[in-house]
Structure 1
């Protein structure tokens, strides 16, 4: 595969964990580290920006009610929309993504993630919830027209036992193998695309059209 090496890519990590610390954030961190390593193996440097949705719960509710994103939420949205790839991880409740996770993607413009490579992850107390990745998350990102990697990563409580506990390397475990495979798939997509274009400064201008015609600036 040809790559667009050299230019630094930005990976946005969306974590919808509700506790601190959370297994959702732990899985997000594992996926992120593996992706950065896989990109490095392909000669592509990467930076990471994490969006913890827990910190924006009230902001998201206000946005739904008013249609207006405050500055912290706008910054989080811009981080995700402007990234070269997204790693999105949610806890599973009642066989689907969390309301907090869904609300964040509800406030994005429907065209915001078109073509963006996405790696999906989810956590739950039992493996019975694992199919939520396929019947809930994958259709969500298909609707947003993102490019989702084939391997989705689910971690139940038992997956963190033994070698997969935080602080242990976990090499060779089923969870570690899934993380490595999914990260490699995401890295292949990212390395094969040009870096994301910078945001259009005229997409949401703060200067009126009349002022621009008169040569006014911001």
Structure 2
């Protein structure tokens, strides 16, 4: 008989409650519009408990960003083994691109991006946290993948990190820009996302696909 999952500890429940409240408060009121006193009250914990768990408002926000962007950064892990032959490249990268678009193009993540951009002049560390835990994390995993595929002769990528950045923004840049500027109604449909993913992969493989 399989072991049952252990019940969540009181500390873990409080940690999650604070993060859940922080997401609602930050996205609604902005970074400067949220106080630790208010977070504590709405989370049902003491102010000292909030500080015990996170240390500061900045650190709380950084952890919130990390938790909100985890899905986008972990796309490769969900795809299984990387391509072993050239015919597997396009399907693999297309699945990756579709999953990235699905994970990133959500109203809550677009709202988070708008919040961070609005505060970047006063709080550049917030933008740094979003960049590090969002696109940069994805680019690091893509770099490792592309490097391995190049070593195996499946891609021609003398500069794997540049190739990873190129592919990442081929997939995401236009869609994110439209959603950021035009609102959630501009988030592409699932069908449009699939079409865009396939085109981004076609362009990427035209540039980096092996000639062998």
Normalised to the residue count of structure 1, the TM-score between the two structures is 0.26
> Which protein has the bigger strand share?
1
Normalised to the residue count of structure 2, the TM-score between the two structures is 0.27
| Larger RCO: 1 or 2 (CA < 8 Å, sep 6+) | 1
